[in-house]
Structure 1
Amino acid sequence: MTTMFYFDPLYFVFALPPMLLGLWAQFRVKSTFKKYALVRTGSGINGAEAARRILERGGIATVSVEATRGMLSDHYDPRHKALRLSEDVYSQASIAAVGVAAHEAGHALQDKTRYFPLQIRSLMVPAVSIGSNVGPLLFMAGIFLAGTIGTTLAWAGIILFGSTALFALVTLPVEIDASRRAKALLVSQGIVSPAEMQGVNAVLNAAALTYVAAAAQAVMQLVYFLSIMNRRD
């Protein structure tokens, strides 16, 4: 069983396609952001201003807009009601910056309206942090051990890691909806013109591809674990 787990050629059938998709997605999002970071918005509004305008339009006065370090480290923190934008997004008045900032502001709007998939994702965070690390370890331990104990451990690992795959799938509608909200408000609030939306769409679509790749990787790894259990039985 040890040889099968470490040198199973079938692993590459499951792992290689989503891994290549993930690499392609990372390349696309970085290259697209870099391209449209050089295109200034006609309105002259930067990322921080765009986020604040969208929050105000949504009647949200309790969410702070803060600068944070790291490239494309932008995120919305629902626990601390903070919208954190990377330095390139926070201060730049570019198509890429306002697109990303508006997307993160879209998450704050989801939080205010208690968007159900976002609530589910937030509740899953503790389980996912455990499942992504402990799940594969339990699975490997179960594969190494024979009998009922080994089978029980392996299935426990699969169930724990399954929370990671489910989290990745739940993330997809959350991210797509945030982008939908962002695109609608960017034009209606005069942050970008309809002609500039082509660049915004390119940036946000490239970002969405990274979440698709993450979901594919998690699901395919889970399927691979299940295939090992099927052959073991």
Structure 2
Amino acid sequence: MFYYFDPLYLVFAIPAFLISLIAQMRVQMVFSKYSRVRTFSGLTGAEVAKNILWSNGIYDVRVEYVPGLLTDHYDPRFRVLRLSQGVFDSNSVAAVGVAAHEAGHAIQHYQKYPWLALRTAMVPVVNIGSNLAFPLILIGLLLKNGDIFINLGILLFSLAVVFTLITLPVELNASKRAVEALKVSGVILPDEEIAVKKVLGAAAMTYVAAVSVAILQLLYYLSLVQRRRDD
């Protein structure tokens, strides 16, 4: 029965679910609130992103529209900055903050920010490892001499945890660059700066939540291994 349903799983899963849910609700509430507040400059998210890029000497990054809600991201592989529906053509405080944040990632890439370079290099390994980690651990638990599978699964998932830890300073640094770029360019007023920081702060909490969830999941996997050894 231990392998089919583990009551201890709920001890780790419920806090992880609540942390993730609260962070997502927070960012959506804050984004929704400040999406209704227009900036004095009247510039759209796309215009702000382009202005920040150009003012930093970056002319080879395209700014494109991407469907979805808060699907904004910078793709360093193709040097494309993609902004979602509520950001690309919106002149709200929330849109300007998110667009500037993604432009901050492009600046990191242009300036060879080491944490971004490390995160980008880890992406292929983490994508594979995060999918294989639990199947390997499960196989190891089912086999009498399956320690090699368990250890490999733990190692692969540990890399995913490290990835989330590395992501946190990358995101915080991009937000810091965003606020500074908006201030220097005069795109936002002092009261709008406060609102932008609230939007980016709420977004940062989703990455803190991701770290917490990943650590809780790793602790659960380690508990499985420890109980197997105790048996």
Same-fold call, TM cutoff 0.5: yes
> After TM superposition, what 4+ stretches of structure 1 lie above 6 angstroms from structure 2?
none
Preserved contact between residue 66 and residue 84 of structure 1 (Cα < 8 Å): yes
Deviation digits for residues 144-174 of structure 1 (CA, Å, limit 9, x no counterpart):
1112xx1111111111111111111110000
Deviation digits for residues 163-208 of structure 1 (CA, Å, limit 9, x no counterpart):
1111111100000000000011111101111111121111111111
Partner of 1:175: 171
SS of the residue 2:2 aligns to: helix
1:6 CA displacement: 3.7
SS of the residue 1:71 aligns to: coil
In the aligned structure 2, how far is the partner of 1:9 from the partner of 1:121?
34
1:12 CA displacement: 2.0
TM-score by length of 1: 0.96
Unpaired runs of 5+ in structure 1?
Answer: none
1:10 CA displacement: 2.1
1:15 CA displacement: 2.2
Residue type of the alignment partner of 2:184: S
SS of the residue 1:62 aligns to: coil
Write out aligned runs for 1:63-74 (5 A). Answer: 63-74=61-72
Partner of 2:102: 104
1:81 CA displacement: 0.5
SS of the residue 1:7 aligns to: coil
1:82 CA displacement: 0.6
1:27 aligned residue (14, 19, 25)? 25
Mapped pair 1:166 → 2:162: yes
1:137 CA displacement: 0.7
Unpaired runs of 5+ in structure 2?
Answer: none
Question: What is the RMSD of the two structures over their aligned residues, measured on CA atoms?
Answer: 1.0
In the aligned structure 1, how far is the partner of 2:63 from the partner of 2:99?
10
The farther-off stretch of 109-118 and 220-229 is 220-229
Partner of 2:9: 11
Deviation digits for residues 120-145 of structure 1 (CA, Å, limit 9, x no counterpart):
10000001111111111111111111
Partner of 1:123: 121
In the aligned structure 2, how far is the partner of 1:197 from the partner of 1:124?
33
In the aligned structure 2, how far is the partner of 1:193 from the partner of 1:200?
10
Deviation digits for residues 85-126 of structure 1 (CA, Å, limit 9, x no counterpart):
002100000000000000000000000111111001000000
Partner of 2:225: 229
Residue type of the alignment partner of 1:82: V
Write out aligned runs for 1:69-108 (5 A). Answer: 69-108=67-106
Partner of 1:218: 214
1:8 CA displacement: 2.5
SS of the residue 1:79 aligns to: coil
In the aligned structure 2, how far is the partner of 1:15 from the partner of 1:175?
25
Partner of 2:111: 113
SS of the residue 2:57 aligns to: coil
In the aligned structure 1, how far is the partner of 2:2 from the partner of 2:212?
23
Preserved contact between residue 131 and residue 162 of structure 1 (Cα < 8 Å): no
In the aligned structure 2, how far is the partner of 1:4 from the partner of 1:218?
22
